[in-house]
Amino acid sequence: MTRTEHPWLLPSEMVDPRGPELPGDRGRPRPRRTVRDWVTDTLVFLLAAGFGMIATDTGQVAGNADGVVFLDVMLGALACCALWTRRRWPVGLAVVLALGMAVEPVASGAAMVSLFSVAVHRPFRPVAAIGLLSIVTGTVQTVLRPDPTTSFLTSLIATVLLVLLAVGWGLLVRARRQLVVALRERAVRAEAEADLRAEQAQRLARESIAREMHDVLAHRLSLLSVHAGALEFRPDAPAPEVARAAGVIRDSAHEALQDLRMIIGVLRAPGDDGNRPQPTLVTLDELVAESRAAGMKVTLDSGVADVAAVPAATGRTAYRIAQEGLTNARKHAPGTEATVVVSGGPGDGLTVEVRNAAPAGEVPRVPGSGQGLIGLTERAALAGGRFDHGPTGDGGFALRAWLPWAA
């Protein structure tokens, strides 16, 4: 039995996860009582017994014959002993004791304790029904076995107050236990949500690191791959071209190593940018100059009046898009001219477009992960912009992004 199946169960009833014993579970062993259970049940028994002893000294019992008094005492003791079964049959025991209270004043204490137990462990409907039954049987007891020292109205008021006290106290205890259970479940849920948020944050951080490493290193390594492939395909190239390609390979390897050290430094020391400024749209000219120095034909068309006014995050995203576009053009269309177009302004947004013509002849195969365009799509989406790419009508390739730029 789970809490989902019976949401009204309280912790004291959930000691046995299988719930109350069912008719087909007679041979199933039940859990042992804890020390707290024994102490509680003992105090409840003594309380009911004390109430019965007080009732024995009243005129309802003491004024009768010795045989009747003895029978009252025995029945009262039996009712008190029956309280040890209240955890197993709370409702049934409360009904039996409430009915017995009609003719047995000594059992009144046990009946009130049983009613209190039902109010703690069961919903309000059975509690109200048994409480009403107790008031009726208490009234019958006042008629059948009146106390000569007390008026009928006083006895009736006392019976109603005792029943209301038992029910109210039990409901109060039940509400407190439900509050504790709810707070405990809320704490467990909050802890699980915190773990989930931490896991999501770690996943996003890993994705950001992977995207940054790809954007930073792919540009450098593509230069290495293209020029190394050129040397492989043209072993008879003139010595100046070989020396120039070797210089580009050396410079690109050095820059890639520096970029890798920067990323590792950021990972080792959170909050440290590696003492190296992050690229923005202002440094786009340097990217184009570097590509030209590597032997690539690049045309830059910037229609932004004040490049320095572009927000740093937007400029950095635009730089990465242009960098990836030039990297792809160098890898998949070597020898063709690439065009970088940047336009826009505050309020209109920033548009970045990189186009290249179709390659002429056979293109050396350059391995790639295929994650660059996916990373650019994610970057543009995180910045609140759009990104699309695809082949052009003349067989070339183009990628275009729009990024928001607040007025």
Give me the chain's average pLDDT, please. 77
The arithmetic mean of pLDDT across residues 115-138, rounded, is 87
The arithmetic mean of pLDDT across residues 274-294, rounded, is 78
What pLDDT does residue 280 have?
A: 83
The arithmetic mean of pLDDT across residues 349-377, rounded, is 76
The angle subtended at Cα 319 by Cα 315 and Cα 321, nearest 5°, is: 120
Confidence of residue 6 (pLDDT cuts 50, 70, 90): very low
Please enumerate in sequence order all residues whose Cβ is within 8 A of that of 82, keeping only pairs 6 or more positions apart, or say none: 93, 96, 97, 110
Q: Indicate whether 134 pLDDT > 80.
A: yes
Residues 303-335: tens digit of each pLDDT: 888 888 888 888 888 988 898 888 888 888 888
Confidence of residue 63 (pLDDT cuts 50, 70, 90): low
Confidence of residue 160 (pLDDT cuts 50, 70, 90): confident
- CA torsion angle 293 296 302 308 (round to 10): -40
Report whether 376 contacts 214 (CB < 8 A).
Answer: no
What pLDDT does residue 328 have?
A: 84
What pLDDT does residue 351 have?
A: 92
> In DSSP terms, which residues pair with 399 in a beta bridge?
354, 389
Please enumerate in sequence order all residues whose Cβ is within 8 A of that of 180, keeping only pairs 6 or more positions apart, or say none: 11
Q: CA–CA distance from 375 to each of 214, 311, 320, 333, 366 (Å)?
A: 9, 20, 10, 21, 19
What pLDDT does residue 332 have?
A: 81
Residues 231-283: tens digit of each pLDDT: 666 777 777 777 777 777 777 777 777 777 766 665 655 544 444 567 888 88
What pLDDT does residue 34 have?
A: 75
Q: Indicate whether 30 pLDDT > 60.
A: no
Please report, rounded to a whole number, the percentage of residues in the chain having pLDDT higher than 90.
8
Q: CA–CA distance from 225 to each of 11, 250, 298, 356 (Å)?
A: 67, 12, 19, 19
Report whether 318 contacts 350 (CB < 8 A).
Answer: yes
Tell me which range, 11-15, 138-142, 205-209, is most confidently predicted by mean pLDDT. Answer: 138-142
What pLDDT does residue 56 have?
A: 65
The arithmetic mean of pLDDT across residues 137-151, rounded, is 79
Confidence of residue 342 (pLDDT cuts 50, 70, 90): very high
The arithmetic mean of pLDDT across residues 82-99, rounded, is 83
